[in-house]
Amino acid sequence: MAPSATLLFLLLLGVLTSASSLPPARISFPLNSTGRPLVHFSLHDVHNTTTLLLSDDGSTLYVGARDAVLSLDISQSDVISLRRKVSWRPSEDDIKECRGKGKNQEVDCPNFVRVLQLINSTHLYTCGSFAFSPRDAFIDTASFSLVQHDGAKGRCPFSPFQRNSAIAIDGELFTATTSDFRGVEPQISRHFSKDSRPNVSQDTSVSLLDEPSFVGSSADPVERKLYFFFSEVGKEFSFIDKLQIPRVAQVCRDDSGGQRTLQKKWTSFAKASLLCQSHKQLPFNILQDMFTLQPPEGGDASDTLFYGVFTSQWSSGRQSAVCVFKLQDVRMVFAGSYRTFDMKTHQWSLQQGKHWYLGQCGLDKATDSELEEVKRSFLTSGGVKPVTDGPAVVSSEHQYSRVAAMRTMAANGKQYTVLFLLTESGFLHKMVFLDRGARLIEEIQVFTHPQLVKSIVLSSTKGAVYVGTSEGVTSVPVANCSVYRSCSQCVLARDPLCGWSPTRRECTSLNHEREHIVQDVENGNVEKECLQQIRNTEDTAEVSAGLNEVVRLQCIKPSNMATLTWTSPRFQNLSEKLFIQSTDGSLIFHAADATFGTYHCEAEEGGYKEVVMSYTVQPMVSPRSIIPNDPKDPGYDSEDDSFEEFVPEKQQTVTIGPSGDAEDEDDEFTTNLQDDVTSNSHSPNPKRNIQDDGLNRTLTFRKDSQSLRETLNVPETRYYSELVVVSLLLGICIFILALGGVHQWRQRKSDVKRNPCADAGSELEVVETSSLSADGRQKRKTHSSEDFKISSLK
Ligand SMILES: *[C@@H]1O[C@H](CO)[C@@H](O)[C@H](O)[C@H]1NC(C)=O
Ligand SMILES: *[C@@H]1O[C@H](CO)[C@@H](O)[C@H](O)[C@H]1NC(C)=O
Ligand SMILES: *[C@@H]1O[C@H](CO)[C@@H](O)[C@H](O)[C@H]1NC(C)=O
Ligand SMILES: *[C@@H]1O[C@H](CO)[C@@H](O)[C@H](O)[C@H]1NC(C)=O
Ligand SMILES: *[C@@H]1O[C@H](CO)[C@@H](O)[C@H](O)[C@H]1NC(C)=O
Ligand SMILES: *[C@@H]1O[C@H](CO)[C@@H](O)[C@H](O)[C@H]1NC(C)=O
Ligand SMILES: *[C@@H]1O[C@H](CO)[C@@H](O)[C@H](O)[C@H]1NC(C)=O
């Protein structure tokens, strides 16, 4: 088949965009958010802290940086402190030589530390690019001093941007890297071999690997094998130019090479494709990262899982997938049949029959003819299929680049897997696999500048994910349950790591002591789980406004999944068109006698509704008309004439006290709504209430919550421009209202999205971008269009 025809065929086969893509994260925390505090470590003279290694006891994080190796104390969860630092810098001559080879002094010629492994109980092994001439060394962990060692060719790459992998087991070091200046000669090898075995490397008479990019490695303790994960050019598909194929390669730990054939070369090297493809869609064929999740304590090693993050060669956008492979399946593929490479035609053919020795360990006594066969047959005929048959997750919005996974037991005793995925744009996504698919519990921004080199490690003992970037190391606690302030929010989060403690009345980390914990990870059913716990968690505020002022009542969504609706007894007699709900959830209207009153912002998520914010808007008490009554009383006993005219006889105020029940309030309001439909025609001409009061736009707030105070702390001057815009738009609305008859008006009510005020609201948002960021929450572009709706009475 001609290359172009094949590619065309592949393209016709399907598009990458999956129909069932991942829903957005429930909660977003921008960088430095107070709601989800992170611990950051950086030093002014240390950069590129991107190689991370946890000590066995989990109290130390070793960091390979630029020209330095650090030892960080991570025993405290709220601080990372420097224990030791050893500088490891190329000499002037080394740098001169590096520049002489045409390399950039700042970008390529420092020593970027690329390997850090605990080689024995007292020493660390390290390898660095060392001015484009890799060098390795030992570090005495007690004194944290560098013990030089000579010649590290073939253990880490020359280029600081090429990827590599290394793993130390029982004092032996296994590395996968390119081993030449140009970065084109891949090499998987064993160093510091024990038991007088030779050091073993890759046979170079055949091209075993083609431009691989190594992303990870893992050990199989039972079969005494090592696996390396990478993508490379798939030469078996010679008809497509540079087709990338994700792979796993194996070598046996105790391989000592052949006797005559394959001397000091792997006799156990074999590679297999990793399949990560949705049905009838283009494959995700570039492996970005691989995390090994050990089986639960006491479990069988064959249940070890590999979580791989994949992107696609054909995708230009931010798309990625997670595929999960099982060690058992990897073993099966390497124990199966192989393809043979024909040296003359450079073609692959399927092996006829099965040869017992292919992919096996212990071939040191194998015959020359068997080893000749081994040399040519190192590609399995089958690929490794993921456990779910296709990707476990497909994201059409995020390009994931690193992954870590942990198991956790929920309150009901069920095991869940929690993934931490780093996006190219700098967010850490926390994902949980539920019965009905993956769910993003939260996203936490950890960096803003794009990072070419980065890494993450997960410490289950410390309950933290560490992210290493050019700028420093950031520690992200796996959970911070206290961010959920009510039982309902705690349950709606559906985080298996968090649950509501009815005795302590707080959302808390699960510690599996004999404490009753309210949690519903699968369904997030608040009504059932929080029945006894429902209480008023809403914030209340009083707002004083002078006539004709623009009032903007803010309401912060408790989550990205929630939809906000405003309710008020004032909606009963007034047209909803006098009120604008902006994309950030704020309700905007003109202060007038008819609009003073109470307003409630209601959040609905997963069928559960709760009031999250209540306001009482009252007339401003000006010094010249002092009212003897309590000015804070929203009881409308103002002396203003127009006021009495429009305040209904029946007191419509819905007061929600600290012990008020949200459910009851809801019912009352529904009745009111029905009244409203019939009484609509009585609504007064709003123009009569809007009196020019000399453009005094100073609003005074009395708030109960600190966070609210922050969010409303917007510059006063903003109201001038706002008023002009809103007045204009309101004027247009009123004009249109006046034109339309009562009947027409009713019909339009259902057509909420297309009404002119709704459009006005969205225009308003363009003007007010500053206020969007002022509320301190990251707004997701994809949401704003759906979220936008005018406060509806239904
Ligand atoms: C986050 O905080 C760090 C340290 O306080 C500061 O250097 C950085 O500029 C902050 N970043 C943002 C985006 O606010
Ligand atoms: C959790 O967040 C709260 C603020 O929301 C903060 O005070 C607390 O220190 C955080 N806990 C951890 C373990 O980071
Ligand atoms: C660990 O390895 C280093 C470097 O090879 C060696 O000097 C040291 O003696 C070893 N320590 C132990 C306890 O084996
Ligand atoms: C294996 O490699 C190490 C590190 O280069 C070297 O010190 C050792 O002598 C080698 N062993 C053999 C048997 O060649
Ligand atoms: C090192 O960090 C700088 C920013 O400080 C970044 O531009 C560069 O790409 C990084 N290099 C490597 C090899 O990580
Ligand atoms: C407002 O609505 C109430 C209840 O439907 C009604 O009794 C009252 O007359 C209305 N007031 C005006 C001014 O339309
Ligand atoms: C606006 O109202 C405030 C508070 O009532 C008052 O102090 C201020 O003088 C008024 N400004 C104007 C321009 O009327």
Per-residue pLDDT band at 771 (split at 50, 70, 90): very low
- Could you tell me the pLDDT band of residue 610, with boundaries at 50, 70 and 90? confident
From ligand 4's centre to the CA of 115, what distance in Å?
Answer: 18
CA of 161 to the centre of ligand 5 (A): 9
Q: Among 153-167, 391-405, 546-560, 753-767, which stretch is predicted with the lowest mean pLDDT? A: 753-767
Which residue has the least CA distance to atom 5 on ligand 5?
470
Question: What is the length of the chain?
Answer: 794
pLDDT band, residue 328 (cuts 50/70/90): very high
Whole-number mean pLDDT of the chain?
79
Q: What per-residue confidence (pLDDT) applies to 688? A: 26
- Atom in ligand 4 nearest the alpha carbon of residue 197: 13
Asked if pLDDT for residue 343 goes beyond 70, the answer is yes
> Could you tell me the sign of the dihedral formed by the alpha carbons of 773, 776, 781, 783, in that order?
negative
Sequence-separated (6 or more) residues with CB below 8 Å from residue 311? 284, 286, 288, 319, 320, 321, 399, 400
Query: How confident is the model over 159-214, as pLDDT tens digits?
Result: 999 999 999 999 999 999 999 999 999 999 999 999 999 999 999 988 999 999 99
At residue 744 the predicted structure's pLDDT band, cuts being 50, 70 and 90, is: low
Distance CA 406, CA 432 (A): 10
pLDDT computed for residue 748 by the predictor: 53
- Rounded Cα distance between 458 and 52, Å, is 10
Residue 384 pLDDT exceeds 70: yes
Q: Which of 117, 118, 121, 138 to mutate to test the pocket of ligand 3 (most atoms within 8 A of CB)?
A: 138
What is the DSSP code string of 657-702?
A: -TT--HHHHHHHHHHHHHHHHHHGGG---GGGG-----S----EEE
Measured from the Cα of 31, ligand 1's closest atom is: 13
Note if the pTM is more than 0.85.
no
State the alpha helices, DSSP H only, in 379-476.
Answer: none
Gyration radius of the chain's alpha carbons: 33
Confidence of residue 242 (pLDDT cuts 50, 70, 90): confident
**Mean pLDDT calculated for residue range 438-447:** 96
Whether the per-residue pLDDT at 13 is higher than 50: the answer is no
Instruction: Please give the residue that has the higher pLDDT: either 443 or 724.
Output: 443
> What percentage of the chain reaches a pLDDT higher than 70?
74
Report phi then psi at 669, rounded to 5. Answer: -70, -35
Mutating to test ligand 6, I would choose from 573, 645, 675, 688 the residue with most ligand atoms within 8 A of its C-beta, which is: 573
Three-state SS for 598-662 is EEEEEEEECCEEEEEEEEEEEECCCCCCCCCCCCCCCCCCCCCHHHHHHCCCCCCCCCCCCCCCH
Q: What is the mean pLDDT of residues 464-477?
A: 97
CA angle 719, 574, 572 (to 5 degrees): 125
Q: 474 CA distance to ligand 1 centroid (A)?
A: 12
Burial group, residue 412, by CB count within 10 angstroms (0-12, 13-18, 19+): exposed
pLDDT at 657: 27
Give the pLDDT score at 348.
87
| Per-residue pLDDT tens digits for 387-397 | 998 999 999 99
For tokens 């004009």, name the residue: 735
Q: Above 60 in pLDDT, residue 408?
A: yes
Best mutation site among 118, 119, 121, 122 for ligand 3, i.e. most ligand atoms within 8 A of its Cβ? 122
Contact 225, 361 (CB under 8 A): yes
Which range has the worst mean pLDDT, 130-144, 145-159, 494-508, 629-643? Answer: 629-643
Cα 407 to ligand 5 centre (Å): 33
Segment (H or E) for 4: helix 3-13
Instruction: Please determine, for residue 718, whether its predicted confidence score (pLDDT) is greater than 50.
Output: no
CA 477 to ligand 1 centroid distance, Å: 18
Which residue shows structure tokens 């926390």?
430
Instruction: Please state, in angstroms and rounded to a whole number, the distance separating the CA atoms of residues 328 and 330.
Output: 6
**What is the pLDDT at residue 153?**
67
Within 6 A (CB) of ligand 3 lie 119-123, 138
**Structure confidence at residue 572 (pLDDT):** 82
Pocket of ligand 2 (CB under 6 A): 35, 37, 77, 477, 480, 482-483
Distance of CA 313 to the CA centre of its chain: 22
Mutate to test the pocket of ligand 7, among 621, 624, 698, 719 (most ligand atoms within 8 A of CB): 698
Nearest CA to ligand 6 atom 11: 648
Q: Give me ligand 7 centre to Cα 698, in Å.
A: 7
Mean pLDDT value of segment 714-720: 41
For residue 684, what pLDDT is reported? 34
**Ligand 3 centroid, distance to 227 Cα (angstroms):** 26
How confident is the model at residue 264, as a pLDDT?
Answer: 95
Q: Which residues line ligand 5 (CB under 6 A)?
A: 47-48, 50, 112, 160-161, 452-453, 470
Domain residue ranges in the chain: 481-529, 539-628+645-712, 730-749+769-785
Q: State residue 471's pLDDT score.
A: 94
Distance 455 CA to ligand 5 centre (A): 13
Nearest CA to ligand 7 atom 10: 696
- Higher per-residue pLDDT: 4 or 320: 320
- Which ligand sits nearest to residue 173's alpha carbon? 4
Pocket of ligand 7 (CB under 6 A): 620, 622, 694, 696, 698
Cβ 17 under 6 angstroms from ligand 4: no
79 versus 526: which is more confidently predicted? 79
| Alpha carbon of 140 to ligand 3 centroid (Å) | 9
What is the CATH superfamily name and number for domain 539-628+645-712?
A: Immunoglobulins (2.60.40.10)
Ligand 5 atom at shortest distance from the alpha carbon of 112: 13
Q: Is the CB of 191 under 6 A from ligand 4?
A: yes
HSE-CB for 727 with a 13 A CA cutoff: 14
Least Cα distance to 74 among 476, 439, 555 occurs for 476
Least confident of 5-19, 141-155, 249-263, 574-588: 5-19
> Average pLDDT of 611-617?
91
State the Cα–Cα distance between residues 698 and 526, nearest whole angstrom.
40
* Nearest ligand, measured from the Cα of 472: 5
Which stretch, 67-71, 435-439, 630-634, 773-777, has highest mean pLDDT? Answer: 67-71
Contacts of 353-362 with CB under 8 Å at 24 or more apart are 358/270, 359/250, 359/268, 359/270, 359/334, 359/335, 360/268, 361/223, 361/224, 361/225, 361/252, 361/254, 361/255, 361/268, 362/252, 362/254
Residue 110 — pLDDT band, cuts 50, 70, 90? very high
Is pLDDT of 740 > 90?
Answer: no
* Average pLDDT of the residues in 682-698: 30
Which of the ligands is closest to the CA of residue 175? 4
Of residues 633 and 160, which shows the higher confidence score? 160
Residue 259 pLDDT > 80, yes or no? yes
41 Cβ below 6 A of ligand 6:
no
Q: Residue of the nearest CA to atom 5 in ligand 7?
A: 622
Residue nearest to atom 14 of ligand 3 (CA): 120
- Ligand 6 and 648: CB distance under 6 A: yes
On the question of pLDDT at 372 being above 60, the answer is yes
* DSSP structure class, residue 432: E
pLDDT, tens digit, 9 for 90 and up, residues 640-661: 333 333 333 332 222 222 233 3
Helix (H) or strand (E) holding 526: helix 526-529
Q: Quick one: pLDDT at residue 274?
A: 98
Burial 262-273 (b: 16+ CB within 10 A, else e): bebbbbbbbbbb
Residue whose Cα lies nearest atom 2 of ligand 2: it is: 36
Task: Give residue 573 CA to ligand 6 midpoint distance, Å.
Answer: 6
Q: Which ligand is nearest to the CA of 193?
A: 4
Decide: 682 in ligand 6 pocket, CB within 6 A. yes
Helix (H, G, I), strand (E, B) or coil at 500: strand
The amino acid sitting at 79 is V
Cα 35 to Cα 476, 537, 781: the distances in Å are: 12, 17, 21
Label residue 758 by pLDDT band (50, 70, 90).
Answer: very low
Between 536 and 295, the more confident residue is: 295
Q: pLDDT value at position 22?
A: 85
Measure the CA–CA gap between 442 and 431, rounded to whole angstroms: 8
Q: Which ligand is nearest to the CA of 698?
A: 7
Instruction: Give me the mean pLDDT over the 599-603 stretch.
Output: 93
What pLDDT shows up at residue 735? Answer: 60
Confidence of residue 578 (pLDDT cuts 50, 70, 90): confident
DSSP state of 594: G
Residue ranges lining ligand 1, Cβ < 6 Å = 31-32, 448
DSSP code for 328: H
Q: Which ligand is nearest to the CA of 485?
A: 2
Beta-carbon contacts of 660 under 8 Å, excluding residues fewer than 6 positions away, are 536
Q: What is the mean pLDDT of residues 759-766?
A: 34
**In a mutational test of the pocket of ligand 4, which residue from 150, 179, 191 has the highest number of ligand atoms less than 8 Å from its CB?**
191
193 lines ligand 4 (CB under 6 A): yes
DSSP H helical ranges for 303-418? 327-334, 368-376
Contact 507, 499 (CB under 8 A): yes
pLDDT(697) > 70 = no
Question: Counting ligands in written order, which one lies closest to the CA of residue 66?
Answer: 5
Distances in Å between the alpha carbon of 178 and those of 98, 154, 183, 213, 550?
Answer: 18, 7, 5, 9, 65
Q: Indicate the top mutation candidate among 42, 48, 164, 448 to test ligand 5's pocket, ranked by most ligand atoms within 8 A of CB.
A: 48
Whether 113 has a pLDDT exceeding 90, the answer reads yes
Q: State the average pLDDT over residues 577-600.
A: 89
- C-beta of residue 114 within 8 angstroms of C-beta of residue 127: yes
Ligand 5 midpoint to CA 25 (Å): 29
Residues of the chain with pLDDT > 90, as a percent, come to 57
**Overall average pLDDT of the 262-291 stretch:** 94
644 alpha carbon, closest ligand = 6
Q: What is the secondary structure of 717-786 as a DSSP string?
A: THHHHHHHHHHHHHHHHHHHHHHS-HHHHHHHHH-GGGSHHHHHHHHHHHHTHHHHHHTT-PPPHHHHHH
Point out the least confidently predicted range of 420-434, 555-569, 636-650: 636-650
Q: Which residue has the higher pLDDT, 782 or 265?
A: 265
Q: Indicate which residue's Cα is closest to atom 1 of ligand 1.
A: 32
- State the distance from the centre of ligand 4 to the C-alpha of 199, rounded, in angstroms: 6
Is 50 exceeded by the pLDDT of residue 698?
no
> 46-60, 344-358, 611-625, 767-781: which has the minimum mean pLDDT?
767-781
Tokens for 399? 């390009």
Q: What is the pLDDT of residue 778?
A: 38
Compare 757 and 99 and report the one with higher pLDDT: 99
Which ligand sits nearest to residue 445's alpha carbon? Answer: 1
Contact between 181 and 101 (Cβ < 8 Å): yes
3-state secondary structure of 97: helix
Ranges of beta strands (E only) in 110-254 are: 113-118, 123-128, 135-140, 145-148, 165-169, 172-178, 186-191, 213-220, 225-233, 244-252
Domain boundaries 481-529, corresponding CATH code: 3.30.1680.10
- Atom 8 (ligand 1) nearest CA: 32
CA of 465 to the centre of ligand 2 (A): 15
